[in-house]
Amino acid sequence: MRYTANNSNNYYYNDYESDYYDDSDYGSDEDAKSYKKRRRVRKRRRIVLWLITLGILAILIDLTVLLYTGKIWFNSPTRKEYPVQGITLSSLQGAINFNALEMENISFAYLKASEGKSLKDKQFSASWEESKESTVKTGAYHKFSFSDDGQTQAKNFINTVGKISNDGYRLYPAVEVTKSGLSLASPPKKESVVSALKEYCKTIKNEYAVNPIIITGDKFYKEYLKDDFSGYKLWIIDLLSKPESINWSLWCYSPRGKLNGISEVKNFISLSAFNGTRENFSKIQY
């Protein structure tokens, strides 16, 4: 707001003030030019910052999409380093074309057979039977429940799988012991987990003459199982990096695999690698 003189030398308020500052507001033309230059620089900086921010957001969105679709992942073990690689399957993947899996250079597939004391995977029997016509070596695994006793769970697995033929194409049974669902919010006690799992493994060994391979995470193994199951073959789930502090036999490195031969293509497959040569791999085969 400025004061303006009228013809009678009286002053009144002028409510109008321009939206810009003219050169007279700065003591000289040089001050005005300097101010305008600073404004242009600040404007350019804001534009550059916005462009950088948009660029970063675009990159993050692209990375998220690529990770979600499995086109890139944190780990990518090569066939040269790990020549024996395989997958885990369940009813989520639907019917399986094992001949197509051969073309994908899949060496082994573990099929979910059972869970808890009574659940049987509805796709297991068909996939287990069809896999006989393939060179893909197959094994069966059980999803362990912390709320059921070990012996009952083992009997559920045995009743689902039946006898395992000694033909070189079947693999040792496996058991997945991981926290999920309610056990994430209310973790089980170590003593109860160890007791039930020992009971499960004892029953499985009595039936199949071998201890089951234990599928678990690095952290869970160290917290719950290390002291009592150190002699077991381990299948470690580590989606961020290769397990370094544990002597593992198999490593699940990605949950976002996509392969031909899977009827339910919308569902991803867990990818795993065996720690050793093809000759070493024969040590977990019947």
pLDDT tens column, 118-169: 999 999 999 999 999 899 999 999 999 999 999 999 999 999 999 999 888 9
Q: What is the dihedral of CA 193, 234, 92, 122, to 10 degrees?
A: -70
How far is it, in rounded angstroms, from Cα 268 to Cα 225?
A: 28
Distance, CA of 283 to chain centre: 28
**Strand partners for 285:** 171
75-284, which class in CATH? Answer: alpha beta
From 17, 22, 47, select the one nearest 32 (Cα to Cα): 22
Q: Does residue 21 carry a pLDDT above 80?
A: no
Q: What is the pLDDT of residue 240?
A: 87
Encode pLDDT of 229-266 as tens digits.
989 999 999 988 898 889 999 999 998 888 999 988 77
Phi, psi angle pair for 212, to nearest 5°? -70, 150
Reported pTM: 0.76
pLDDT digits (tens, 9 = 90+) for 24-62: 455 566 677 777 778 787 888 888 788 788 777 777 766
Place of tokens 């160890």: 194
| CA dist list (Å): 56 to 62, 70, 144, 221, 251 | 10, 21, 42, 38, 33
